[in-house]
Chain A
Amino acid sequence: MAASAESASNLRRQQPLPIRIVHWCNALIIVLMAGSGLQILIAYPYLGPRGALYGWYPLQGVAPPGWLTVGGWLAGGRRWHFAIAWFFVINGLIYLAYLAGSGEWRRRIFNPKRDARAAVAQFFYYARIRKQPPPRDFYNGLQRLAYTSIILIGVAMALSGLAIYKPVQFHLLTRLFGGYDGARVVHLAGLAMIALFVAAHVVLVALHPKEILAMVTGGKRE
């Protein structure tokens, strides 16, 4: 039994079709959500309520550049943001359901017992402290940490977004984020983390172009 389950999973492509579809939809969704979100930020590029701006935020009053934005003006940005938000959530739920239903989560999701040590070793390797790359299976420890963290950040983005969207109807959720202005902080910090993730992701796949091909064709069966 165990052996046949093993061989079935060995026949699985590196990037199964559902993951490829969700991935490229997500790429478009993230660009539109980030661009329209920055358009909304331009209307009030501050953190903290009126009369009590947060002193620790270094970018008070710094508006994002127009070329990064989607929607043209505040009403347009909001229209895009609240339209695409549905697809962000639906796409994310499809991804999570597929991970859970197919068993893909086993080789993708960070498991501290299995991956914590490997992630640290991989970090030392990238930092040129360690000469040899640590042994890896499907993903290395740092990849699993990154791909799992970004799921949690996505969940935090959806929830903090709802808290900003309906701070009265969802006032318990909003309180969880420290109130309306706290939820804005979480939402903007989440965007910063997604931007960092995307930048690192793009650099790393550019260094390993085979991985881009695998996300298009599915790659070899492992």
Chain B
Amino acid sequence: MNSRISRRRFVTGAAAASILAGCDSRPVISFLRAMKDWNAGFEAALFSPSRLAPELPESATTPEDDFPEYFISDEAPDVPPIWFLSVGGLVDRPRQFKLAELQAMAQTSMRVRHHCVEGWSAVASWQGLRVSELARAAGLKQGVRYVEFRSFDSGYWSCWDLASAMHPQTLLAWGMNGHPLTSGHGAPLRVYSAVKLGYKMCKYLAEVNFLPHNSGGYWENQGYDWFAGV
């Protein structure tokens, strides 16, 4: 992000703030947009690639019936008869992975707190492969700055900054609390991360693309924060 431009936008925003009138007037809208961009830069600056979310004891686990299951299709999407994960974009070795192939690469397990944009939190343990390990297997080319996760849940997707995707607590998870993902939680494979809000963690995963540009996201394009770090 160009900090000189965002600073200039911030000053413009401050000027607009002083003439706050109606909520839908043009200066108010451009003020809010400028502050949104400023805050995205602020969030990226606060993010530390090495700072870990605290791991929690098993006793902190939320009863699974109380852990909400969100998807955008009318019902939890069924796994397609032939499922694989497509890995592409600016990579040396684009390819398709069967679940067992991903599981054979490495496994990480972590129990961390989940933060939803709505304000609730919940705790589970998650088992999966670090996105950074998938990136190493795929071989990132010069110019990759974003990682796009795409699902088979009515086209839901979310695009991430590369640094958050490479965080050691960002996984492609196939397990929750030691068992395979249930359909409500994104079976067979989902993104799970300790450093983002829930809506960034694309469930029902179908594709991972390493991109030079930001492709937005399902909720992000409707007005929710794009960076959405915690």
Contact = CB atoms under 8 A, between A and B. Distances in A.
Interface of A: 28, 40-41, 43-44, 46, 49-52, 70, 73-76, 78-80, 82-83, 86-87, 166-169, 171, 175, 179-181, 184
Given A49-B113, A51-B67, A83-B13, 7 more contacts: A43-B117, A50-B68, A50-B121, A52-B62, A74-B117, A168-B53, A168-B194
Given A40-B119, A43-B119, A78 B225 contact: yes
B32 interface: yes
Interface pairs A-B: 4 shortest CB-CB: A51-B66, A83-B35, A44-B119, A75-B223
A74 B32 CA distance: 14
Contacts of A49: 62, 113, 120-123
A83 B39 contact: yes
A51 B31 CA distance: 39
B122 A169 contact: no
Given A166-B46, A180-B113, A171 B53 contact: yes
Nearest to A79: B32
B54 interface: yes
Interface in B188-230: 194-195, 219, 222-225, 229-230
Nearest to B47: A169
A168 B196 CA distance: 9
Contact of A83 (B31, B51, B116): B31
23 contacts: A46-B120, A49-B113, A49-B123, A50-B62, A50-B120, A50-B122, A51-B62, A51-B63, A51-B65, A70-B23, A75-B223, A75-B225, A79-B223, A83-B31, A87-B14, A166-B230, A167-B230, A168-B229, A169-B46, A169-B230, A171-B53, A175-B54, A184-B119
Nearest to B224: A75
Given A28-B20, A70-B23, A180-B115, A83 B53 contact: no
B118 A44 contact: yes
A70 B13 CA distance: 18
A82 B14 CA distance: 14
B223 A43 contact: no
B139 to A, nearest CB: 29
A171 B54 contact: yes
A166 to B, nearest CB: 6
Interface in B1-53: 13-14, 17, 20, 23, 31-32, 35-36, 38-39, 43, 46-48, 51, 53
Contacts of A87: 14, 17
Contacts of A52: 62
B229 to A, nearest CB: 7
A167 B113 contact: yes
A9 B13 CA distance: 37
Central interface residue in A40, A49, A70, A73, by most chain B CB within 10 Å:
A49
A155 to B, nearest CB: 20
Contacts of A75: 219, 222-225
